[in-house]
Amino acid sequence: MCTVKTEHSCYHSTCKTLVEGEKKHLAACTTLNTLPQTFKEMQHFFGLPQSGELTDETLAVMKRPRCGLSDVEPFGETIRWKKSQLSYRSELPIPVSRVHKAFRAAWKIWSNVTPMRFRKRRRREADIVISFHSGDHYDGSPFDGKQGILAHAFLPGFGIGGDVHFDADEDWSFNLFAVAVHEFGHALGLPHSSDPGAIMFPAYNFAPNYELELSFRDVKDVQQMYGINPNFAALFSKKPPPRTPDKCDPDLSFDAVSELQQEVLFFKDRFMWRKHPQFEEIRITLTSSLWPDAIPPYLDAVYENSAKNLILLCPSGHQYWMLKQLTVEEGFPKNITELGFPPRIKSVDAALHLRKERFTVFFTGMMGNLFMYLYSHCDCYHIFNQLLVPSHHLQFIFAIF
């Protein structure tokens, strides 16, 4: 595990390697000379501009709730269970039916795509022990209190191998299931994935209204290790595992495109590509890596009002968010009627902000209704609409002046 903690200008890295399920602790302090390369590797993994510096965005990624295993170091050779039926035992301070239900559902996510079966045991020895701990619990991987590292797991093997530890200091009221699915993947032998759409991506996805499911990459990786569930085709015939969008797909279309500070952002579903003028590579990442999980991941329109340093997000539905320095402004989300839209308008298809003219054009509706509102120094003071020539549904509009 490599976890980088920051305190002003002092950065420390503690690395550990677990071999064949048993701990072999290798500790070393990363020198300042190697920090730029460490940051570059992390930025590459998370789809950030690879500056090699501790930017605000890099720091934000490091602070996100995450798994305790290494982000960028592979496990090496594949380590897997040699049997198709595994037992697990949960060590909880008190019996909690909600916790057991979350664990059963998390195991089912993996058994739906493989022949693996998981049986709960109460008192007998089990292959996998699931437990909750605070701080240093003598496995070489102490927890850090609320937020930060939420859990960690060990590779398949004897003793501590396959065990899963959750941080007892966390609030597990809403995200236990998502974390359990990820950590159980490690207990089966899966490493972290660089695919931001994968369950095994190191940063957890707690976006609201997001239906957690294994991605195509998750399914492919676990089936290579354990085989395919005989009922897999029937279970996923109507809704196959989702693939992360490919920027080289000739049929790819975007939900929104916007210029943000120096970058151009391309949005598709819950993903985005970032084009920075100082970096050649365009990498995909989750929209939740840029702003809080509270904002829905599927966007219809995004623009930046550089004069006010505000970003307006218009997700599918009738609400909008306004951000300042990537932080949600107080009182948001608000209904789009507060912008002056009539009640019949339920969503916005695209938005174009014209800096020099200091107004924003909104597009909405299959029939090409054009909505425009003008900014004064403080806020908008006028809005009107005009019917344009009927056209196909508008997905996004973008211009650079």
Mean pLDDT, to the nearest integer, of 30-34? 52
Note whether 45 and 129 are same-domain residues.
no
Note whether 91 and 227 are same-domain residues.
yes
Does residue 245 lie within any of the structural domains?
Answer: no
Please tell me the predicted confidence (pLDDT) of residue 130.
Answer: 95
Note whether 96 and 10 are same-domain residues.
no
Note the pLDDT tens digit of each residue in 284-332: 888 877 887 778 878 888 888 766 666 777 776 688 888 887 888 899 9
Give the CATH number, domain containing residue 283: 2.110.10.10
100 labeled part of a ligand binding site: no
145 labeled part of a ligand binding site: yes
Note whether 188 and 292 are same-domain residues.
no
Note whether 120 and 38 are same-domain residues.
no
Amino acid code (one letter) for 401 = F
More confident residue, 275 or 183: 183
Note whether 264 and 325 are same-domain residues.
yes
Note whether 184 and 103 are same-domain residues.
yes
Q: Which of 67, 93, 117 is where one domain is finished?
A: 67
For the annotated catalytic residues, the residue numbers are: 183
Does residue 326 lie within any of the structural domains?
Answer: yes
Give the CATH number, domain containing residue 119: 3.40.390.10
Note whether 196 and 308 are same-domain residues.
no
Note whether 58 and 114 are same-domain residues.
no
pTM: 0.73
Note the pLDDT tens digit of each residue in 43-95: 666 666 677 777 776 666 655 555 555 544 444 456 899 999 999 999 886 66
Give the CATH number, domain containing residue 57: 1.10.101
pLDDT at 390 over 50: no
Does residue 80 lie within any of the structural domains?
Answer: no
User: The domain containing residue 198 runs over which residues?
Assistant: 85-235
255 labeled part of a ligand binding site: yes
Mean pLDDT, to the nearest integer, of 159-187? 90
